[in-house]
Amino acid sequence: MKTCQSFFKTHINSRLINLIFISSSLGLILYLVFSSFSSFSTFSTLPSTRILLLGGDVFSSPTSLDHVVFGIASNAKAWPTRKEYVKMWWKPDKMRGCVFLDVGLNNNNNNNNDNNTVLSEDEILPPVCISDDTSRFRYTWRGGLRSAIRVARVVKETVALNHSNVRWFVFGDDDTVFFHENLVKTLSKYDHELPYFIGSNSESFIQNRFFSFSMAFGGAGFAISYPLAKTLAKVLDSCLERYHHLYGSDGRISSCLAELGVGITREPGFHQMDMSGDPFGVLAAHPMAPLVSLHHPDYLDPIFPKMTNRDAMRHLYKAAELDPHRILQQTVCYDRWFSWTISISWGYAVEVFGSHILLPDVLRVPATFRPWKKGGVLHTLFSFDMREHNKDPCRRPVAFHMNKTILEGDQTVSIYKIVEPANCTSNLGSPRGIEMIKVHAPKFNLDMKQLLAPRRQCCDVLPSSWHEKLEIGIRECHEDELIQMPH
Ligand SMILES: *[C@@H]1O[C@H](CO)[C@@H](O)[C@H](O)[C@H]1NC(C)=O
Ligand SMILES: *[C@@H]1O[C@H](CO)[C@@H](O)[C@H](O)[C@H]1NC(C)=O
Ligand SMILES: *[C@@H]1O[C@H](CO)[C@@H](O)[C@H](O)[C@H]1NC(C)=O
Ligand SMILES: *[C@@H]1O[C@H](CO)[C@@H](O)[C@H](O)[C@H]1NC(C)=O
């Protein structure tokens, strides 16, 4: 275990590092020149991949995980269980940062690394940092947790870790899981030398109404660009004095950033997951953006039925590792023969409707979950379009959950099956009779064009299908193709 201290270093200009890095790599220059002139010739200045040959301004290499430092907020009591989620996404040899605890762990060495056969937990988890004492700060939200101050200061203490070549600081809770390829892709859209505060607010209307619509909710995770984080770290303590009346850490951070004149840049791939029950709907009708984070895995039903919360999350990661950019991306196609509508959330689930449904209605989130907290009708309001989730499973679209995913060259094959069969009178001609759905897709490689102007892909029911085994191919849509219900 390592205790973190707050030292400030002389800031090495990251541009200089980039310059050295790139000039030693002619191949990369050629790549950047080629990609910026061929594929995106209409965008003369692309964030973070721009190269200004004449201005002599910036040579910027693409943003990668090497440029990110994480600050994870936990505490000594929760960490022994929550670390299981962090293990799912933390890459010890590729990621930098700390998990911040209130006090040290009583390491009775229950990590069985005695025989040098398995990696010890210290080797697969982020280093532990102990937060500074915050008892001098006031906390006046009645009934709240004053740990909010400590957690807000994770931002300052992560900056003080003094890592070099940092473009982004990313913060999350110990039950926030990140999809790092998508996190990096999403951040690469933005110029890390400008003051950015990137995240998303709650799905729950009442949570936003209560806390703020313009706050990045901490459980969803958020990112702060290097220069902004440096500035924030300097002034944060003075803000903490002023915002003693707020509830949480995220309110303190966004209030302080507001005072610095910076508002949130919303990215819909960050998920606070302020709901309870079955999150199926939110994952099955994901917005057209790479999945960056999920939160509250222990407060929701397991994302795959008949598994524990943890096994279910690990199962999702298996698909995400195969094709991170495509995970949860929704594609819709129509079966003419049986008049079905098929909605694929890649790597997670397929919904098959027994009739043809217009596309905008398919894209609505089925209300499979319950409000985060019990209360009046306001608690049932969410900030996305919803569709009914019938109480009677026989009157719902049929849900198939991902069974496995396989990589075949640069193609993926993902298989979906019914895990919870409904007890309905007849399956004849109904999608309930489908035994498995096999989806073929090219591995998705998000380029800057798709990140800046996302376009949904298309799919086809393949001729090899028969009633019990549906085969579907995902592909790019043609220029003028409509995802259209057959007549
Ligand atoms: C901070 O960075 C400087 C320069 O890289 C280094 O000399 C110093 O030891 C670092 N401090 C800590 C606490 O890591
Ligand atoms: C490690 O070795 C000791 C004896 O050297 C043995 O008692 C113990 O069971 C071993 N532990 C594991 C996890 O293999
Ligand atoms: C995949 O399907 C097989 C056969 O139906 C089943 O035994 C297995 O448990 C399924 N795996 C998952 C993860 O659902
Ligand atoms: C399905 O219905 C039959 C007959 O009503 C009943 O015996 C059986 O337990 C039901 N199965 C499930 C899974 O609900």
pTM value is: 0.85
Q: What distance in angstroms lies between residue 115's CA and the mean position of ligand 2's atoms?
A: 6
Q: Name the CATH architecture for the domain at 65-272.
A: Alpha-Beta Complex (3.90)
Which pLDDT band, with edges at 50, 70 and 90, does 59 fall under?
low
Among protein residues, the one whose CA lies closest to atom 4 of ligand 3:
403
For residue 8, give the ligand 1 atom closest to its CA: 1
What's residue 426's pLDDT? 84
Tally of CB atoms within 10 A around 465: 18
For ligand 2, which residues put their CB under 6 angstroms from it? Answer: 112, 114-115
For residue 162, give the ligand 1 atom closest to its CA: 1
Measured between alpha carbons, how far is 360 from 177 in angstroms, rounded to an integer? 29
Residue type, 376: G
Span 289-318, mean pLDDT? 98
Q: Is 229:97 a contact under the CB 8 Å cutoff?
A: no
What's residue 39's pLDDT? 38
Residue ranges per structural domain of the chain: 8-38, 65-272, 313-475
Among 313, 350, 417, the mutation site with the greatest number of ligand 3 atoms within 8 A of its Cβ is 417
SS3 string, 404-423, reads EEEEECCEEEEEEECCCCCC
Tally of CB atoms within 10 A around 13: 8
What's residue 43's pLDDT? 36
Q: pLDDT, tens digit, for every residue of 217-257? A: 999 999 999 999 999 999 999 999 999 999 999 999 999 99
> Which ligand is nearest the CA of 316, by number?
3
> Which ligand is nearest the CA of 8, by number?
1
Among 2, 5, 6, 9, the mutation site with the greatest number of ligand 1 atoms within 8 A of its Cβ is 9
Among protein residues, the one whose CA lies closest to atom 14 of ligand 2:
115
Among 317, 350, 403, the mutation site with the greatest number of ligand 3 atoms within 8 A of its Cβ is 403
What's residue 28's pLDDT? 43
Among protein residues, the one whose CA lies closest to atom 1 of ligand 3:
403
> Which ligand is nearest the CA of 425, by number?
4
Measured between alpha carbons, how far is 406 from 414 in angstroms, rounded to an integer? 6
Q: What distance in angstroms lies between residue 423's CA and the mean position of ligand 4's atoms?
A: 6
Residues facing residue 96 across a β-bridge: 69
Which pLDDT band, with edges at 50, 70 and 90, does 118 fall under?
low
Q: pLDDT, tens digit, for every residue of 314-339? A: 999 999 999 999 999 999 999 999 99
Span 101-106, mean pLDDT? 92
Instruction: Give all strands (DSSP E) within 57-109, no chain letters.
Output: 68-73, 96-101
In sign, the C-alpha dihedral spanning 329, 335, 336, 338 is negative
Q: What distance in angstroms lies between residue 418's CA and the mean position of ligand 4's atoms?
A: 16
> Which ligand is nearest the CA of 420, by number?
4
The token pair that represents 151 in the structure block: 């957690």
Report DSSP state, residue 388. Answer: -
Among protein residues, the one whose CA lies closest to atom 8 of ligand 2:
115
Residue that wins the pLDDT comparison between 375 and 244:
244
Half-sphere exposure of 479 (CA within 13 A, CB side): 0
Measured between alpha carbons, how far is 169 from 75 in angstroms, rounded to an integer? 20
Residues 297, 298, 304: CA angle, nearest 5 degrees:
60
Which pLDDT band, with edges at 50, 70 and 90, does 487 fall under?
confident
